[in-house]
Amino acid sequence: MLSRTADNLFWMARHIERAENIARVLDVAHRSALLPLDIDGTEAYLWYAPLNITGCAEGYEEKYGLARCKDVSYYLALDPDNPSSIYNCLRMARENARSVRGAITSEMWESINSTWLEMNRRNVDMPEDQYPEFFEWVKERSHLFRGVTLGTILKDIALSFIRLGTFLERADNTARILDVKYHILLPSVSDVGGAADYYQWGSLLKSVSGFEAYKKTYRDVISPQRVAEFLILRDDMPRSLHACMNEVETALISINGNSGREARRLAGEQHADLHFGRIEDVISQGLHEYLSLFLVKINLLGQEIRNAYLSRRDVYETQTQVLLSAQAQ
């Protein structure tokens, strides 16, 4: 496969997944805003969390100043001037898909193209109470695209690059969306494992579609340590870090090639850490510190994948700038 084609497939999938996960981050913030917070904070404190997690705080402050619900929601969801907004993620996903029409199925193209056309019909002055419905729409369109992809495309190297982009982005965002909770309620490492409000943790689990699965697995009161274990180490939870790295390693093995040995080594190393890891060790290290280190490793893996397989290094560097800036927060 041409590296240019692989590049477009990888980024098509990654932008679709990123749009969904930005919607999930915003959904956490909106749910949290409806519940009492046991902190001495303001509206700005709450709404800086999604900005910092997505690496968009600097750009937002230059344009809007103090973080407010309406402005943050618009900036991360609909603002065409924000390269990481849901609007621009869907636009770039469509552009990548258009560039590889011959490598994807007609059903995949129709799905992603219709999503973009409907996105353009969305009201830029969306009322605040309509944002939850919009976030659900973004998630549903992402689910639809993945379903159409798995149901129509050949199980060849093209699908491997699509899955690689999807699960690399999902691993990154699961780590970030879990960290949102600690930015809002448990900013100190010493607070990890303390009493936390049931509804706050419930909203976090619902934001990653894991509430019912958590209750089925643990059958008791939601606790911070078990939520962390569920979203980091459980390989039967589809959005956990362990499950994502299972898929990333499998995709890299399927792609193979001598040039990808270092990428496969890094993926295998991260997968082994998650496969044999214990939640007690994660908590003793500090959850925020653990997630920050994981994000650094994911970025290094992404760089190795770029070097081994992808053609447009300047594009990769531009589109990962957001991830790097978030790690510097």
pLDDT tens per residue across span 210-256:
999 999 999 877 888 888 999 999 999 999 999 999 999 999 999 98
Confidence check: pLDDT of 327 > 90: no
Residue 320 has pLDDT above 50, yes or no: no
Average pLDDT over residues 98-117: 95
Q: What is the pLDDT of residues 4-36, one digit of tens each?
A: 899 999 999 999 999 999 998 888 788 777 765
What's the pLDDT at 20?
94
> Which among 123-127, 222-226, 324-328 has the top mean pLDDT?
222-226
What gap in Å lies between CA 258 and CA 238, rounded to an integer?
30
pLDDT at 129: 83
Task: State the average pLDDT over residues 36-52.
Answer: 68
Q: What is residue 245's predicted lDDT score, i.e. its pLDDT? A: 97
Cα 267 to chain centroid, rounded: 18
φ and ψ of 154, to 5 deg? -65, 145
pLDDT of residue 192: 46
* Distances in whole angstroms, Cα of residue 213 to Cα of each of 24, 202, 236, 290: 17, 12, 9, 24
The sign of the dihedral angle between the CA atoms of 318, 322, 327, 329 is positive
Element (H, E) at 182: helix 157-184
Given a contact cutoff of 8 angstroms between Cβ atoms, the answer to whether 189 and 284 are in contact is no
| 64: DSSP letter | T
Of residues 157, 122, 159, 160, the one with CA closest to residue 141:
122
pLDDT in the model for residue 185: 55
Kindly list the domain boundaries of the chain, sorted by start residue: 3-327
Q: What is the DSSP letter of 195?
A: -
The pTM of this model reads 0.86
201 phi and psi angles, rounded to 5 deg: -70, -35
